[in-house]
Structure 1
Amino acid sequence: MRINTICPINISSLGGPGYACNQLLEAMAASGAEVNLFGASCDIGARKSFHCLSIPLWAKPLGYRAFSEDAWGKYTEWRYRRSFKKQDIAYIWNFTSIETYRAIKSAGHIILAENVNTHQATSKAILEKEYHRLGLRPTHGIDEESIALESAKLDLADYVFSPSGEVSQSLTVAGVPTEKILQSSYGIEPNKILLPEEIASRSQRTELTAVFCGRIGIRKGVHLLLEYWVKADVKGKLKLVGNIEPSAKHLVEPYLGKHNIEHVPFTNNLKSVYLDADVLLLPSLEEGSPLVTYLALGAGLPSIVSPMGGGGVIGDGQEGLIAEPHDADKWVSAIRKLFSDAELRSRLANNAYRKAEVYLWSNVGRRRVELLQASLANRPD
């Protein structure tokens, strides 16, 4: 059995679907599975022996000048469809067309899909409700056609990997049979886990810093976080790390430079951000299983998250505190509690740090192979 995979975009070494796909396949290969990955291109630091790239590394700058990303994606899919051997399982990631799903299905191969975020029907409902509450025109870009397309792809899939309980629930609501859903997680690299002495230095600080990491916009609930931070009125600093989405600028910018709120533009060096932080805050309205949450475990950071922001990784009262994104009283209380109670911060931080090993990519990949093998063994002929 070969897990023949496609993610028809650039495979990043920094984050995003291509990064997660690459890490999972490397871990699955290390656990004994035969894998390969068809991608349009990759970052130098992401190159793996199982890659089948449409653009060689040396030709990448020229390739993207000569043809569009969409054209390279279509070419990658064409190469992928021609690559199948008899016993191959198709493992399909984001941005792959339904034509490829149909071609592989008609050829008789088992299809395993990856649902990075909640089903778009769930996403659309959540985001439209929030845009309406704010009196804004929705700019999320999800329409009925894209929802129907996602559902059609899932109908063609035999199995779908879900990275969290929230994603699994959205798939069930969308009509995906529970026996098709293989719930797992994402993970963290060993070199992203801080050293114990780096974490210990936090105890010497007299002022605490809370961080939010990600795209600063309505989907991730930053506008709510700013309101809760001001109401909590704690002694400390809030850092928003990431690019501000245009649709949220008018909601975010009035807070910047006030109430000890600082904006840090997007950076690849999240290690320094986590080293300087004491608490992670993530009130997302919609997510899959955000990688920043896994990084918080590796940094020994206690978290205050929404159920979506926790991504099934943070246990309430274990590695952090969980509050629904619109529960203002609970968020304000949680921020005050975590900033005032050093013993609580220490306990949650220690729990988070210990849990990081569970989510090493090597362990996640092995569990995914075992989950897939068990499902295939129970598959009716």
Structure 2
Amino acid sequence: MLFSFPHALGAPGIGWTAWNQVDGLARLGHDVHVVAASIARPVPANVRVTQTLAVRGKRVPHRAIGRDRAFAWHDARAARFAASGDYDVVHLWPTGPGRTAATARERGTAVVREAPNTHTEFAWRVVAEEVATLGLQGEVDTAHTANARRLDMERADWSQATAVLAPSDFVAQTFRDAGFAEDRILRHQYGFRPGTRVARARTATPAPLRAVYVGLGEPRKGLHYALDAWLRSEASTQGTLTVVGRMLPAYEAFLADRLAHPSVQVVGFTHQVEAALAASDVLLLPTIEEGSALVTYEAQAMGCVPLVSTASGALMDDGVHGLFHEPRDVDALAAHLDLLSRDRAELARMSAAAIAHGPELTWDAAAHTLVRCYDAARDRATAGGAHAHAV
């Protein structure tokens, strides 16, 4: 397969997700050709690599030639390989003007387009609404700020793709709502890499509840809802909520009074996420828009029970491995906190179930799921489903 990634493969964020996909495919013995802007983390020796924004092994920043020009250059390079190579599948990540997708389609090659987040227009709309509701317009600028040129690039890829890869049911639904046919949406998953720490299920012994929030401090991730639910719950009288992650300054200032509560501890960015999860009973992630948050996989592996919104993309069974609430439903999240604060036996049951679920959440498991999606896309392309689509 041809794997096109127009960013630094292996860098934090989507670079880490894409790197794990490549690593998993290679370890399964598949023939992978990665075309990436640059390589931030070495890939397995059996992976062929082409870097499109690197000179003598040194990364050339996108901004050096302009982001749109950098994406177009990468797409053109990848398209040449799609035209000349004998590939079964072309796997595309955002963002590009669509040349690679169109070239592969013309050759009858299956094209799958990664959707690391919800449909772009949905994401922009809900994030803009949230920022406006909080009165932070003009003060908070994230990757989910509307950009017409980017949307044109997205549509170019989508229109030529055999199928879109959705890492969660929530993401899949936003593409259905945008008019994508059911057979053009393939459900796969992300994963986590097991560490050396031994996971231990929480016990039923009475104790103050330890909650943790892990993620960027921004309106989209819903930290304000997590804080409101926490301060409304009985758990906050004796328990602790630890906030882990970098904060957007304007948003941090907006939350200053809530963050200053004696039960709330702000530790900022850390590489010790696994340790933070292992030291906590529950993970709070009341996000309003997400692809499939990797921290929800990591939390289960450590026995930290996810109390997350349906928009988090968590791969779990409600009431078994954790508890879901609808986005913005502070009352439901507060009730979940009260439940597990009062009923430690229920917390212990879910914690043990989450740990047992861990093997299904690894990047190895994700690789097998991804290959099944490739097979489905190839079948669809062979059956004549690789023609251009209106989206």
How would you bin the TM-score normalised by the shorter chain?
0.7 to 0.9
State the Cα deviation string for residues 296-337 of structure 1 (Å, max 9, x = none).
11111111100012x141221011111113222211111111
Letter in 1 for 2:79: R
State the Cα deviation string for residues 105-162 of structure 1 (Å, max 9, x = none).
4455332110000001211232233233333426441145544542332111111111
Partners of 1:126 and 1:286 within 8 A in 2: yes
With over 3 angstroms needed to count, the CA separation of the structure-2 counterparts of 1:151 and 1:68, relative to structure 1, is: closer
Partners of 2:25 and 2:32 within 8 A in 1: yes
State the Cα deviation string for residues 161-199 of structure 1 (Å, max 9, x = none).
11000110011111111111111110111327x414xx2
Q: 1:33 aligns with which of 22, 30, 38?
A: 30
Cα distance in 1 between the residues matched to 2:105 and 2:202: 55
Cα distance in 2 between the residues matched to 1:190 and 1:267: 18
In the alignment, does 2:219 pair up with 1:218? yes
Cα distance in 1 between the residues matched to 2:322 and 2:343: 13
Partners of 1:41 and 1:57 within 8 A in 2: no
83-92 vs 335-344, which deviates more?
A: 83-92
Query: Paired residues, what number?
Result: 373
1:79 is aligned to 77
1:5 is aligned to 3
The equivalences for 1:84-95 within 5 A come to: 84=82, 85-95=85-95
Partners of 2:201 and 2:352 within 8 A in 1: no
Per-residue deviation at 1:273? 1.3
SS at match of 1:27: helix
Name the Cα RMSD after superposition: 2.7
Per-residue deviation at 1:236? 0.9
Per-residue deviation at 1:68? 5.2
Q: 2:269 aligns with which of 266, 276, 285?
A: 266
SS at match of 1:34: coil
Per-residue deviation at 1:66? 11
Letter in 1 for 2:181: P
Cα distance in 2 between the residues matched to 1:147 and 1:87: 27
Cα distance in 2 between the residues matched to 1:353 and 1:371: 26
Partners of 1:42 and 1:57 within 8 A in 2: no
Cα distance in 1 between the residues matched to 2:153 and 2:42: 33
1:282 is aligned to 285
With over 3 angstroms needed to count, the CA separation of the structure-2 counterparts of 1:377 and 1:75, relative to structure 1, is: closer
Partners of 2:112 and 2:374 within 8 A in 1: no
Letter in 2 for 1:121: E
In the alignment, does 2:374 pair up with 1:372? yes
199-208 vs 353-362, which deviates more?
A: 199-208
Partners of 1:25 and 1:35 within 8 A in 2: yes
Partners of 1:161 and 1:184 within 8 A in 2: yes
Partners of 1:217 and 1:247 within 8 A in 2: no
With over 3 angstroms needed to count, the CA separation of the structure-2 counterparts of 1:267 and 1:46, relative to structure 1, is: farther
Letter in 2 for 1:37: V
Unaligned runs of 5+ in 2: 385-391
With over 3 angstroms needed to count, the CA separation of the structure-2 counterparts of 1:369 and 1:200, relative to structure 1, is: closer
1:129 is aligned to 129
Q: 2:346 aligns with which of 344, 347, 360?
A: 344
Partners of 1:115 and 1:161 within 8 A in 2: yes
With over 3 angstroms needed to count, the CA separation of the structure-2 counterparts of 1:69 and 1:185, relative to structure 1, is: farther
Unaligned runs of 5+ in 1: none
Per-residue deviation at 1:222? 0.7
The two structures have a TM-score, normalised by structure 2, of: 0.86
Per-residue deviation at 1:44? 4.0
State the Cα deviation string for residues 227-270 of structure 1 (Å, max 9, x = none).
11111142211111111123412322222232311112212221
With over 3 angstroms needed to count, the CA separation of the structure-2 counterparts of 1:146 and 1:10, relative to structure 1, is: closer
With over 3 angstroms needed to count, the CA separation of the structure-2 counterparts of 1:374 and 1:152, relative to structure 1, is: closer
2:118 is aligned to 118
SS at match of 2:255: helix
Partners of 2:213 and 2:244 within 8 A in 1: yes
The equivalences for 1:64-213 within 5 A come to: 64=61, 67=64, 70=67, 73-84=71-82, 85-137=85-137, 139=141, 140-143=144-147, 146-191=150-195, 194-196=197-199, 199=200, 206-213=207-214
Letter in 1 for 2:175: L
Partners of 1:211 and 1:281 within 8 A in 2: yes
Cα distance in 2 between the residues matched to 1:201 and 1:66: 47
2:295 is aligned to 292
